[in-house]
């Protein structure tokens, strides 16, 4: 608009100038000649002067108009550029204060192991004979219930927070439940035991994106695109493109990941939640998964740095569109167990490499080393070496208590059997 006005203004000035030149300058010479012959010299001089002034001002006005026009254009361009830079900066920034996964919102999952105990009792143990019910197949070393089927079904008919989870797959050291969250879409709960890896190594392998690119062949792309720099946050935004079977578009995820370490209760929790990030808009050739969340609660059998770990992983993702049932089944029955097996192997390999002092891994671990107090994260502010050793002592003594409790329990059981 301003540009248009300025252009109109300069056009009008140019017209005026042309008019002055034509009507004053050109005609004035003939009049001057006439007047000169009539010896009206002074007046002629004055007129010439006025004419000069007029054309001079006309020129100045034109120049000024041009300058004004340029100034306005420049101002507009600058304003636009500034606005553009400003808007792209706001667009690309990510508000960690608002988006960080807060402990309060996920705390209930810290108790997933208690939940699991009840879940097992309610769903996979026969109430009559107290043996394991068969899920989809028999696993060696597990003693299964032989009660008549109608008896076990009748006994587990009651619907509650536990029985909504349907036992789904059993493999050695792994049991999966599922729960229909939306029509045809399931949340899964997986319980896994690895007797030969440490919780510390397991956590490391979970969060080391560069390493995962090496061992997880379904990760087509995996990048950390944002990191929360506030102390003790351990929060990242991750872009992940997962390989899907032929004829399907690969699925990609942008998710917020945070992990918590609770040394006192000896629990680690990794939380993933899908999120929007300005750096990662949806791509044309992949199917963006907008609904994804997972909670992995890791518990060492003894301490964080001794072999023996189990975890409960609860997750949900909505792969979008209507996915044929065989694909959903494939993801749950094949892809997930395969992934967990790879994860297990990767952790073993990592532990081996760590022993051989592979510098990159050590450096990474030093950078992300658990400083002792991360739960609640605020206590990090007062972190000191003394606190750390104190916490370790506490951990050992509480561990001792657990061992004593277990011994007591077994003594009691033995006593009863006798």
Q: Which of 142, 407, 152, 103 is nearest to 262 (CA)?
A: 103
CB of 332 to Zn ion, least distance (A): 26
Query: What are phi and psi for residue 13, nearest 5 degrees?
Result: -65, -40
Residue 123 CA to residue 164 CA, distance in Å, equals: 9
Residue 51 or 123 with smaller CB distance to Zn ion:
123
Residue 364 to residue 108: CA distance in whole angstroms = 30
DSSP 130: -
Tell which residue, 393, 399, 405, has the closest CA to residue 302. Answer: 399
Q: Smallest distance from the beta carbon of 153 to Zn ion, in angstroms?
A: 11
Residue 159 CB, nearest approach to Zn ion (Å): 20
Q: At what angle do helices 2-20 and 41-92 cross, to 10 degrees?
A: 170
Cβ closest to Zn ion, residue 125 vs residue 383:
125
Q: How far is the CB of 146 from Zn ion (least distance, A)?
A: 6
**Residue 124: CB minimum distance to Zn ion, A:** 11
Whichever of 129 and 164 has its CB closer to Zn ion, that residue is: 129
β-pair partners for 28: none
* Cβ count within 10 A of residue 298: 26
Please identify, using beta-carbon distances, which residue of 2 and 155 lies nearer to Zn ion. 155
Q: What residues contact 119, with CB distance under 8 A and at least 6 apart?
A: 162, 165, 177, 189
Min CB(374)–Zn ion separation in Å: 43
User: For residue 193, what are its two tokens?
Assistant: 């035991």
Under a CB-based contact definition with an 8 Å cutoff, are residues 307 and 330 in contact? no
Cβ proximity of 289 and 319 under 8 Å:
yes
Least CB distance from residue 128 to Zn ion, whole Å?
A: 5
CB of 336 to Zn ion, least distance (A): 29
State the residues that interact with Zn ion by CB under 5 A: 126, 128-129, 145, 147
- Considering the complex, state which of residue 145 and residue 169 has its C-beta at the smaller distance from Zn ion: 145
Cis upstream peptide for 264 (omega within 30°): no
Min dist. Cβ of residue 129 to Zn ion (A): 3
* DSSP state string for 167-190: EEEEETTEEEEEEEEETTEEEEEE
Q: If DSSP states are collapsed to H, E and C, what string results for 239-302?
A: EEEECCCCCCCCEEEEEEEEEEEECCCCEEEEEEEECCCCCCCCCCCCEECCEEEEEEEEEECC
CA distance 273 to 385: 33
* Residue with smaller CB distance to Zn ion, 119 or 199: 119
Query: Which one, 152 or 274, has the nearer CB to Zn ion?
Result: 152
**Residue 152 beta carbon to Zn ion: minimum distance, rounded to whole angstroms:** 6
Instruction: Give the nearer residue to Zn ion in terms of CB position, either 148 or 376.
Output: 148
Judged by beta carbon, residue 147 or residue 348, the one nearer Zn ion is: 147
Q: Specify the residue, 156 or 347, whose C-beta has the smaller distance to Zn ion.
A: 156
């Amino acid at each position: 608009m301003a540009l248009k006005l300025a252009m109109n203004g300069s056009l009008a000035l140019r017209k005026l100038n042309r008019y002055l030149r034509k009507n004053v300058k050109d005609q004035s010479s003939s009049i001057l000649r006439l007047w000169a012959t009539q010896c009206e010299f002074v007046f002629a001089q004055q007129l010439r002067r006025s004419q000069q002034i007029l054309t001079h001002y006309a020129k100045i006005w034109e120049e000024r108009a041009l300058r004004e026009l340029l100034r306005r254009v420049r101002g507009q361009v600058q304003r636009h550029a500034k606005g553009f830079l400003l808007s792209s900066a706001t667009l690309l920034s990510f508000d960690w204060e608002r988006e960080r996964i807060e402990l309060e919102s996920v705390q209930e999952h810290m108790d997933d192991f208690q939940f699991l105990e009840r879940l097992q009792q309610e769903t996979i143990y026969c109430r009559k004979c107290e043996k394991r019910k068969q899920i989809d197949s028999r696993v060696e070393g597990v003693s299964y219930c032989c009660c008549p089927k109608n008896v076990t079904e009748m006994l587990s008919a009651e619907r509650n927070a536990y029985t909504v989870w349907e036992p789904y797959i059993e493999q050695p050291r792994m049991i999966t439940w599922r729960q229909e969250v939306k029509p045809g879409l399931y949340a899964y709960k997986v319980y896994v035991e690895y007797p030969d890896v440490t919780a510390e190594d397991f956590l490391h392998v979970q969060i080391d994106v560069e390493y995962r690119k090496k061992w997880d062949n379904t990760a087509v792309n995996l990048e950390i695109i944002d990191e929360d720099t506030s102390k003790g946050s351990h929060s990242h935004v991750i872009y992940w493109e997962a390989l899907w079977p032929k004829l399907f578009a690969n699925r990609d995820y942008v998710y917020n990941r945070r992990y918590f370490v609770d040394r006192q209760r000896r629990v680690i929790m990794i939380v993933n939640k899908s999120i929007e990030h300005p750096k990662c808009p949806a791509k044309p050739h992949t199917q963006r998964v907008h609904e994804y969340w997972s909670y992995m609660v890791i518990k060492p059998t003894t301490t964080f740095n001794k072999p023996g770990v189990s975890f409960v992983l609860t997750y949900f993702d909505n792969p979008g569109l209507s996915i044929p049932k065989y694909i959903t089944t494939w993801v749950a029955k094949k892809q997930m167990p395969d992934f967990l097996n790879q994860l297990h192997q990767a952790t073993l390999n990592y532990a081996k490499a760590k022993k051989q002092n592979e510098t990159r891994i050590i450096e990474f671990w030093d950078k992300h080393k658990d400083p002792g107090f991360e739960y609640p994260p605020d206590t990090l502010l007062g972190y000191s070496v003394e606190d750390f050793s104190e916490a370790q002592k506490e951990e050992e003594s509480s561990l001792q208590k657990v061992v004593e409790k277990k011994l007591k329990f077994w003594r009691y059981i033995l006593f009863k059997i006798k």
